Amino acid sequence: MSLITTPFGPTSTAANVSQGIDLQGRRAIVTGAASGIGVETARALASAGAEVILAVRSLDAGQRVADNIIATTGNSNVRAAYLNLTDLPSVVAFVSAWTGPLHLLINNAGIMATPETYTKQGWELQFATNHLGHFALTTGLHRALVAAHGARIVSLSSAGHTRSPVVFDDIHFRHRPYDPFLAYGQSKTANVLFAVEASRRWEQDGITANAVMPGAVRTEGVANLRLTAEQIAQAQATRASAPDTFWKTPAQGAATSVLVATSPLLNGIGGRYFEDSQEAGPHVSGTMSGVAAYALDLEQARLLWEVSQQLLA
Ligand SMILES: NC(=O)c1ccc[n+]([C@@H]2O[C@H](COP(=O)([O-])OP(=O)(O)OC[C@H]3O[C@@H](n4cnc5c(N)ncnc54)[C@H](O)[C@@H]3O)[C@@H](O)[C@H]2O)c1
């Protein structure tokens, strides 16, 4: 299986990769689109003519972003809708309110390396937000995705996935000390495994799902990490191929999501991991590039789906 290559690279923007793409008549959801990478993802999809729903926790913030996107793109088919991924009744309400086909689902919302916190179900918060909430949303919208005849799902992962596989024996850190970066890594591996299994299960429905690493972008989520200068320098140094392109703008960070959601080069392609607008090769230890073998493992992908269904049952 050869890697997918495209004419785009680390400095390409969402506008670059969507140039010439016509999304008139297509409907898209971008989760967590009230800030950061999600805003620029939504803007590029709207620019290309899609109807875009910003699925957000703060309707005020979401509507301000929607108004700004309408003003900058001239596409009035952009609106905010309430969704809180850790509040399952809110996910159910969002799904129930959805009618008609859904062509593009960008599972972008996420929290990063947060302090030890558990949901009322006792689930570790990053796993619950980044994976389980999106699992409930996507499986809930399955019928709408089928109705689109060729729907695409984009799952925002991270190079952080190389920090940890899904530790099935102790997903919620009941028997090991909590580590915010291991918990983030586990949840971001789950995002890749989800794309692998969704593509396998739903191939006959014309649905494909892929995972992306957006790159390092100085968003609110990253600011909350309070990384030291030393940690940043260390991470930067691991990007051996192009250290000068380490930090991306939000518009550059959105490029890989938009490419994977819209490019004709990816017709029928699912279950893969992309970064810098290219499909990534295997992860090389000590770098921030590539995909870990465990994240593409078919057996772990199947197991994660079953565990997720059981947790949400
Ligand atoms: N910025 C980076 O350097 C970087 C690197 C790798 C991966 N990522 C991934 O990119 C995605 C976007 O992150 P960002 O950098 O734009 O950060 P961000 O903090 O600006 O955006 C994340 C959004 O998710 C929303 N969100 C969080 N919890 C939610 C919940 N329970 N329900 C609904 N929405 C919720 C937040 O409100 C926020 O708007 C995340 O999945 C993140 O893991 C970012």
Measured distance CA(219)–CA(204) in Å, rounded: 37
Which domain CATH number covers 118?
3.40.50.720
pLDDT above 70 for 244? no
21 CB less than 6 Å from ligand 1? no
The pLDDT confidence band at residue 222, using thresholds 50, 70 and 90, is confident
> For residue range 153-198, what is the model confidence (pLDDT) as tens digits?
999 999 999 999 999 999 999 999 999 999 999 999 999 999 999 9
Binned at pLDDT 50, 70 and 90, residue 236 comes out as: confident
Closest ligand 1 atom number to CA of residue 86: 31
- Burial of 20-31, coded b for 16+ CB within 10 Å and e otherwise, reads ebebeebbbbbb
pLDDT value for 239: 63
Residue span of the structural domain in which 44 resides? 22-312
Q: Does the beta carbon of 111 sit less than 6 angstroms from any atom of ligand 1?
A: yes
Query: Can you give the pLDDT at residue 240?
Result: 53
Q: Is 106 in the pocket of ligand 1 (CB under 6 A)?
A: no
pLDDT band at 29 (very low <50, low <70, confident <90, very high): very high
Would residue 13 count as lying in a domain? no
202: confidence class by pLDDT, cuts 50, 70, 90: very high
51-56/27-31 β-pairing: parallel
Number of domains forming the structure of the chain: 1
For the segment 236-263, the average pLDDT, to the nearest whole number, is 84
Domain for residue 6, yes or no?
no
Answer yes or no: is 283 within a domain: yes
Confidence at 308, pLDDT banded by 50, 70, 90? very high
The answer as to whether 52 is a domain residue is yes
Q: Return the SS3 of 21.
A: coil
* Among 161, 217, 231, 289, residue to substitute to test ligand 1 (most atoms within 8 Å of Cβ): 217
- Over its C-alpha atoms, the chain yields an Rg (Å, rounded) of 18
Q: What is the percent of the chain where pLDDT is above 90?
A: 88
What local confidence, expressed as pLDDT, does residue 227 receive? Answer: 75
- Among 91, 95, 111, 135, which is best to mutate for testing ligand 1, by the most ligand atoms less than 8 A from CB? 111
Shortest-distance atom of ligand 1 to CA 38: 16
In a domain, 9, yes or no: no
- Give the chain's length: 313
The rounded Å distance from CA 82 to ligand 1 centre is: 16
The Cα 290–Cα 288 span in angstroms is 7
Distance in Å, CA 245 to ligand 1 centroid:
21
Residue 179 in any domain: the answer is yes
Pairing of strands 278-279, 273-275: antiparallel
Digit-coded pLDDT (tens) for 83-133: 999 999 999 999 999 999 999 999 999 999 999 999 999 999 999 999 999
Q: What's the pLDDT at 42?
A: 98
In the residue annotation, 184 being an active-site residue is answered as yes
Q: Does residue 89 fall inside a structural domain? A: yes
Ligand 1 lined by 119 (C-beta under 6 Å) = no
Check pLDDT > 60 for residue 241: no
192: in domain? yes
H or E stretch including 31?
strand 27-31
The answer to whether the beta carbons of residues 210 and 271 sit under 8 Å apart is yes
